[in-house]
Amino acid sequence: MGEVNKSRRLFLTALGTTVVGIGIGYAIGYLSKPAEMVERTITSTVTKTVTATPGVTPPPVGLSGAATRALEGVRDLLNRGVIKPGTTIKILHVAGSRAQLERAIELWGQYVPEVNVELITLGQEPDVYTKAMAEAVTKAGTFDIVTIFSTWLGDIVEAGLAKSLDEYYVKYDPEYTGPCAPIEPLGSYVTIYKGKRYSVVLDSDVFTLSYRKDLIENPTYKNEFRAQYGKDLKVPDTWEDLIDMAEFFYNKNLTAPSGGRVYGAYFYAEPAFAAYITWLNIFIEAGGIPFDLETMDPKVDTPEGRYAFDIMLGLRPYMPPEAITAGWADLYDKFIKGETVFTAAWPSLTKEAMRPTSLVKDVAGSALLPGVIVNGKLVRAAPNPVNWVGVISNYSKYPELSYLFLQFATAPDIGLDVILSGVILDLFRECWFKDPAYRPKSAEGYGEEFIDVYMESLRISFPDILIRGGPEYLSKLTTEVNSVMAGIKDPEVALNDVSAEWDSITKKYGVDTQLEAWRGLAQLFPDDVKDVWRAKGYMK
95 binds other proteins (CB under 8 A): yes
Q: Is 208 among the residues that bind other proteins (CB under 8 A)?
A: no
410 binds other proteins (CB under 8 A): no
Contact set for other proteins, span 265-304 (CB under 8 A): 270-273
Binding residues for other proteins restricted to 502-531, rule: CB under 8 A = 505, 508-509
Q: Are 319 and 266 in contact (CB under 8 A)?
A: yes
Residue numbers 478-497 binding other proteins by CB under 8 A: 479-480, 482-483, 485-486, 488-489
Told to check if 254 binds other proteins by CB under 8 A, we report no
Q: Could you tell me the CA-to-CA distances from 240 to 231, 315, 488 in Å, in that order?
A: 12, 9, 24
How many other C-beta atoms are found inside a 10 Å radius of the C-beta of residue 81? Answer: 8
**Within 440-469, which residues bind other proteins (CB under 8 A)?**
468-469
Number of neighbours of residue 14 by Cβ within 10 angstroms = 10
Q: Which one, 133 or 373, has the nearer CB to other proteins? A: 133
Other Cβ atoms closer than 10 A to 18: 10
CA–chain centroid gap for 239, Å, is 25
DSSP states of 188-212:
HHTTEETTEE--EE------EEEEE
| Candidate list 87, 121, 164, 238; residue touching other proteins; CB under 8 A | 121
- Interacting residues of 325 by C-beta distance below 8 A, sequence separation 6+: 270, 271, 486
Q: Which string of DSSP letters, residue by residue, matches 3-52?
A: HHHHHHHHHHHHHHHHHHHHHHHHHHHHHHHHHHHHHHSBPPP--S----
Cis preceding-peptide flag for 321 (omega within 30 of 0)? no
**What are the C-alpha distances in Å from 288 to residues 283, 462, 522, 531?**
5, 13, 12, 12
Question: Which region among 65-73, 138-146, 202-210, 522-530 touches other proteins (by CB under 8 A)?
Answer: 138-146
- CB of 98: closest distance to other proteins in angstroms? 4
Does residue 44 touch other proteins according to CB under 8 A?
A: no
Kindly tell me which of 29 and 230 has the beta carbon lying closer to other proteins.
29
State which residue, 127 or 232, has the beta carbon closest to other proteins: 127
E strand or H helix that includes residue 379: strand 377-379
Q: Between 278 and 475, name the residue whose CB sits nearer to other proteins.
A: 475
Q: Does 313 bind other proteins (CB under 8 A)?
A: no
Kindly state whether residue 325 participates in binding other proteins, applying the rule CB under 8 A.
Answer: yes
Q: Which stretch binds other proteins (CB under 8 A): 9-17, 70-78, 236-244, 306-314?
A: 9-17
Question: Among 60, 72, 110, 120, which residue sits at the site for other proteins (rule: CB under 8 A)?
Answer: 120
Residues 342-361 that bind other proteins (CB under 8 A): 348, 351-352, 355, 357-358
Closer residue to other proteins in complex, CB, 197/316: 316
Q: Find the binder of other proteins among 16, 18, 43, 507 (CB under 8 A).
A: 18
Q: Are 224 and 232 in contact (CB under 8 A)?
A: no
